[in-house]
Amino acid sequence: MRAMIDPKQLDDLAKKVAASLPVGLLTMQEEMQKNFRAALAAGIARLDLVTREEFDVQAGVLARTRAKLELLERRITELEQQSSQR
């Protein structure tokens, strides 16, 4: 799933880029801002990012999986030790 980028953040970034233009280009600032916003949106869309919520869910799944793996590894070690003592 693609990340939902806050349109306000995208607009703010486009404004900052447009504001950094030389003074002679200020008359074109609004047009440039729209172009920057479109280019930024297209670039971000290609990144195939996940939302923070999705990342946090997957991090939780990974942590639980690691805990189960460690438990199983300890159990196997115990069983191997019991088996070798017989």
- Looking at residues 25-46, what average pLDDT do you find? 80
Query: Does the structure show a pLDDT above 50 at 39?
Result: yes
> Which residue, among 5, 35, 38, has the nearest Cα to 21 in the 3D structure?
35
Q: What is the DSSP string of the chain?
A: ------HHHHHHHHHHHHHTS-GGGGGGHHHHHHHHHHHHHHHHHHT----HHHHHHHHHHHHHHHHHHHHHHHHHHHHHHHHHH-
pLDDT tens for each residue of 56-83 = 999 999 999 999 999 999 999 999 999 9
Give the whole-angstrom CA distance, residue 38 versus residue 22. Answer: 21
> Using 50, 70 and 90 to split pLDDT, how confident is the model at 1?
very low
> Using 50, 70 and 90 to split pLDDT, how confident is the model at 50?
confident
Give residue 10's pLDDT.
Answer: 76
